[in-house]
Amino acid sequence: MKIRVTLFCISSILIIALPFHFEAISQKAEPTITDFKVQAMYRAAKLSWKVKGDLKNEMAVQLLRADTFEDAAYNEVGVVKIIPGKSSYEYIDKSMGSESKYYYKLIVKDTNEIFGPLPTRPYFSPPAT
């Protein structure tokens, strides 16, 4: 009889403890970038994003562009430093070579977070007057 009581107590403890263990594993950190957008411009693309307000350390964001959706084809177009206290950022990519569809990604170097790809097609005709 003592063996059954002991096993019951041990299994009850495990059943109570297991949900807390799994909950801690499944929690994810909030993303650093909250609102990544790409806007087509005349011979350019404007990338904009926002950063969480509680950023404590300076970070670097790598900006990548490709003319295909494939991961291997992305090249760096710039790096922007993210600083505590500033929440909105913009980068204008003027290095397009042809009228084509482009895909952009942001990579937060310190956390390896990847945002995108987002497509855009810049305007290559002169603006209407």
pLDDT reported for residue 55: 80
Structure token digits, residue 39: 């806007």
70 domain-assigned = yes
Residue spans of the chain under pLDDT 70: 1-29, 126-129
The enclosing domain of 110 has a CATH number of 2.60.40.10
Domain assignment of residue 57, given as a range: 37-120
pTM of the model: 0.72
pLDDT reported for residue 21: 37
pLDDT reported for residue 4: 52
97 domain-assigned = yes
pLDDT reported for residue 128: 67
Q: How many folded domains does the chain comprise? A: 1
